[in-house]
Amino acid sequence: MTMKGFIVRNPVSVLSPDELERVHGAMLEVLRETGVVFEHPKALDVLADAGCRVDREKMLVKFPPYLVEDSLRRCPSRVTLKARNPKYDVDIGGNRMYFCPWVAMNLYDADTGERRAPREEDVLQAATVLDYLDEVHVYGFGNFANVDESVAPGLCAYPWGMAFNLRHTEKALFGAAILGIEPWIVEMFQAAGVRPGMLVSGAPPLTWPGHQLLVVFAAAEADFPIMPFCGMAAGSNSPATLAGTLVQNYAEMSAMITLAQSLKPGMEVLAGDYSQLMGMREAVVVQGGPEAALLDAAWSQIWRRHDIPRTGFNTRTDAKVIDYQGAAEKTLTLLLSVLSGSNKIYFHGGVYDELLASPVAAVMDNDVAKMVMRIVEGIKVTEDTLAVDVIDKVGPMPGHFLSEKHTREWWMKEQLLPEVADRSSYERWLAEGKKDFLARAKDRCAEIAKTHEVPPLPDDVDRELEKIYRSAKKTIQSWGL
Amino acid sequence: MSETVFDNLRRAILDYDGDAAEEWARKAVEEKLEPAGAMEVLTDAIRQVGEGFAREELWLPDLVGAAEAFTRAIPVLEERLASMGRERDVLGKVVIGTVAADIHDIGKNMVRIFLTAEGFDVHDLGVNVAAETFLEAVKEHEPDILAMSALLTLTAVQQKAVILALEAEGLRDMVKVMVGGGAVTAEFARMVGADGYDPTAIGAVQVARRLVGA
Ligand code: B12
């Protein structure tokens, strides 16, 4: 059994067919003329064998257009992830859409409005809440990628986090590695019998770092899908124009897809993008707002053209607290991302960019996800829903529909019942203590954290993870990291 | 005559035009103008752009554009100075890089550009720089300042490793250490035993000036 997610039948476009074609042509030209650096000899060998022109000294690869087109064609149209509990397996691609949480550096403390480093209990609370929330279809990394040093020092936070996630959610996961720690990460997932997506990060402009290529090789070996992405700040490490940013990242991604398909034909790739803007006043990355929404929709369109599944990164905000700007920016980008047909969207829990996250925000986001899904479901038009018979029966005043069987049958299918958002009367709202969305979400979050239980891993798997973690830790510490 | 060359040199910076900056620096050399004078013109122009940025009239691309134009003209004038057996008056020497395992370089590049424009001589070791590489660079270039950038909390402690290595080699007193990047806070900087820290690239310039006593 797999998670249903939801279906977006008629995705919207922001580029005309002609514009899409020009972006594609420009991408091929960049790959042919400028090329992409792959900082690993094995990648250079594979691409040279596939027919690329390789300058070994510069590690620069130039791609013949036919090879790129062919690789994009051969890239599978689905990515499947296997979770601890098979009911949470996901089948990403086509018109199907899933949500997963945003991973951030620090916790937004919804009680104090301050930011702080997440402690182990915060990570656990977020995990419990995300495991519970029904519109978190994929767990990914959860809300936090790090934890305080006393729990897992330095780079050990990576394997620690992967083991932690295997223990504290039954949903599908992502894996990531840097600096050659991928063997332990892969081993952990294999010990638990799951199939994660492995994150691979490029370094724009036009560079794939060696230690990230090691992750690609390990994923190929383990038969795990990869999720490559490049972090662009338009105007800084990609062109200031949205179109130029599309071209550059399209080239980076197509180069990676060509490597993947040459390395292991049929390798599953979930295309990422992760394009944002450079803030030209204080040099910060600007992640929310209309440009992000447009880029997101364009990416959906680009990857749909190749029937390659895509993950959307852009449902973020630059607001530093949970407020109106945050809600507006997140919803703007979310709606366009969903309507344009992203297959998986990072959404739940993000507060400020990807620098702050909060499980309280995740609870609020879960309701917003439901609202967006309701929009996507659309208006159902059938003989029964047109309701001519019941209109005729109830007729002009003083007739009413409240007691009709048709009403009892349909209202709950048509009306969304949010878990936290307020649709109650003013009087009830007063009586319940004038709570706003945030206050209600805090209550709900605390309640979920207290009551939801995630079944533990089988003892032998748990012990195996501990063993792998210890071995990873020993090696990492021997490197002085 | 010298005025027109200098005027054009200044204009090149104010127009953010690297090609022109290099070309007019060459002209200045050809016409045997005093290289120190040309450098003063360049520094003055950069300061003007910096002030415009501080007043929020100019934007980051203007500042970076001017700084890069500046760095195009400088080597030409330095070469001329060298041929006269002299050296450029720099505020100090800086070695900079992003720590091991970390490939984030947008912020580090900005720090490099701003320090260069301020009049520091900066050697950029790039990203994913191993502790030994930092150490070798310190031995080779004998910088006044070692600047490290780190965006991953996971590997920011590398900065500590480098500082410990400097101590172990008896080099710690010869160089000031400045740290920064998204994963670094003032508290963290204190914890690793750095001499300077700032959350911004612009601020890094003031910190560097303070560290070299300029
Ligand atoms: C762009 C980006 C990327 C790009 C980087 C492209 C590039 N060429 O640099 C890519 C896609 C490659 C990338 C990859 C990854 N990233 Co990243 N990335 C970012 C992002 C969005 C922006 C970083 C940035 O450039 N900011 C703008 C610059 C200007 O800021 P800055 O570097 O901090 O510099 C300023 C100051 O700090 C200061 N400064 C900088 N250096 C110095 C030095 C000194 C001495 C001084 C005084 C001052 C100073 O000056 C600058 C201007 O004022 C951040 C999230 C965010 N919104 O910030 C995540 C982020 C930094 N990344 C993160 C992560 C986890 C990763 C990955 C590990 C993901 C993965 N699992 O694969 C990989 C890491 C790969 C690696 N080995 O390094 C996390 C780090 C979390 C943490 N603290 O541990 C962040 C915070 C995102 C998150 N979700 O939490 N990333």
Cβ of B59 and A235 within 8 Å? Answer: no
Q: Tell me: the pLDDT tens digits for A81-112?
A: 999 999 999 999 999 999 999 999 899 999 99
Q: Tell me: the pLDDT tens digits for A4-24?
A: 888 888 899 999 999 999 999
Which of A38, A59, A107, A178 to probe the B interface (max B CBs under 10 A)?
A178
Query: A–B: how many Cβ contacts below 8 A?
Result: 63
Q: What is the DSSP annotation of A344-398?
A: EEEEETB-STTTEE-HHHHHHHHHHHHHHHHHHH----SHHHH-HHHHHHH-STT
CA distance B50 to B59: 10
Helix (H) or strand (E) holding B52: helix B35-54
> Would you state the pLDDT for residue A5?
82
* Set of chain B residues whose Cβ sits within 8 Å of the Cβ of A157: 153-154
Sorting pLDDT into bands at 50, 70 and 90, what band is B87?
A: confident
pTM of the model: 0.90
Query: Residues 117 to 176 of A: which have CB under 8 A from any B CB?
Result: 117, 146, 149, 153-155, 157-158
Percent of chain B beyond pLDDT 90?
64
Q: How far is the CA of B151 from the centre of ligand 1 (A)?
A: 5
Cβ of B107 and A283 within 8 Å? Answer: yes
What's the Cα-to-Cα distance from A336 to each of A168, A271, A361, A363, B70, rounded to whole Å? Answer: 32, 18, 20, 21, 43
Q: How far is the CA of B103 from the centre of ligand 1 (A)?
A: 8
Q: Hey, which of A274, A347, A354 would you mutate to test ligand 1's pocket, going by the most ligand atoms within 8 Å of its Cβ?
A: A354
3-state secondary structure of B147: strand
> Would you state the pLDDT for residue A305?
95
> Would you state the pLDDT for residue A149?
78
> Would you state the pLDDT for residue B2?
58
Q: How far is the CA of A278 from the centre of ligand 1 (A)?
A: 12
Instruction: Inform me whether the C-beta atom of residue A178 falls under 8 Å from chain B C-beta atoms.
Output: yes
Average pLDDT of A252-260? 98
Counting atoms of ligand 1 from 1, which one is nearest the CA of A177? 71
Beta-sheet strand order (sheet of A106-109): A114-116, A106-109, A356-357
What share of residues in chain B are helix, strand, coil (percent, to 5)?
Answer: 60, 10, 25
Average pLDDT of A271-294? 89
Q: What value does the mean pLDDT of chain A take?
A: 94
Q: How many CB atoms lie within 10 A of CB A444?
A: 18
Cβ of B183 and A105 within 8 Å? Answer: yes
* Set of chain A residues whose Cβ sits within 8 Å of the Cβ of B184: none
Instruction: Inform me whether the C-beta atom of residue A235 falls under 8 Å from chain B C-beta atoms.
Output: yes
Q: How far is CA A375 from the centre of its chain?
A: 20
> Would you state the pLDDT for residue A481?
65
pLDDT at residue A202 greater than cutoff 80: yes
* Set of chain A residues whose Cβ sits within 8 Å of the Cβ of B60: 278-281, 283
Q: Tell me: the pLDDT tens digits for A123-166?
A: 999 999 999 999 999 999 999 877 877 888 878 888 999 999 99
DSSP H stretches of helix in A86-132: 120-132
CA distance B36 to B7: 15
CA distance A50 to A263: 9
Q: Tell me: the pLDDT tens digits for A203-242?
A: 999 999 998 999 999 999 999 999 999 988 999 999 999 9
N residues, chain B:
214
* Set of chain A residues whose Cβ sits within 8 Å of the Cβ of B68: none
Average pLDDT of A404-411? 96
- Which of A203, A209, A481 faces B155 most closely, judged by CB atoms? A481
Percent of chain A beyond pLDDT 90?
84
Alpha carbon nearest to ligand 1 atom 12, residue = A203
Residues with Cβ within 8 Å of residue A443, at least 6 apart in sequence? A435
Q: Tell me: the pLDDT tens digits for A423-433?
A: 999 999 999 99
> Would you state the pLDDT for residue A147?
80
- Which of B59, B101, B200 faces A178 most closely, judged by CB atoms? B101
What's the Cα-to-Cα distance from A433 to each of A76, A243, A303, A441, A442, rounded to whole Å? Answer: 53, 49, 48, 14, 14
> Would you state the pLDDT for residue B1?
52
Helix and strand numbers (H, E) in chain A are: 17, 19
> What is the dihedral sign for C-alpha A97, A100, A105, A108?
positive
E strands, A13-89, are 36-38, 53-55, 60-62, 78-81
* Set of chain A residues whose Cβ sits within 8 Å of the Cβ of B131: 480
Instruction: Inform me whether the C-beta atom of residue B154 falls under 8 Å from chain A C-beta atoms.
Output: yes
Q: How far is the CA of A273 from the centre of ligand 1 (A)?
A: 16
Cβ of A211 and B157 within 8 Å? Answer: no
> Would you state the pLDDT for residue A10?
87
Whether ipTM tops 0.90, in short, is: no
Average pLDDT of A58-84? 97
Write out residues with Cβ below 6 Å of ligand 1. A 103-105, 145-146, 176, 178, 199, 201, 203-204, 230-231, 233, 237, 283-285, 353-355; B 101-108, 110-111, 147, 149, 151-154, 178-183, 197-201, 204, 207
Q: Tell me: the pLDDT tens digits for B122-174?
A: 999 999 898 999 999 999 999 999 999 999 877 787 898 899 999 999 999 99
* Set of chain B residues whose Cβ sits within 8 Å of the Cβ of A233: 106
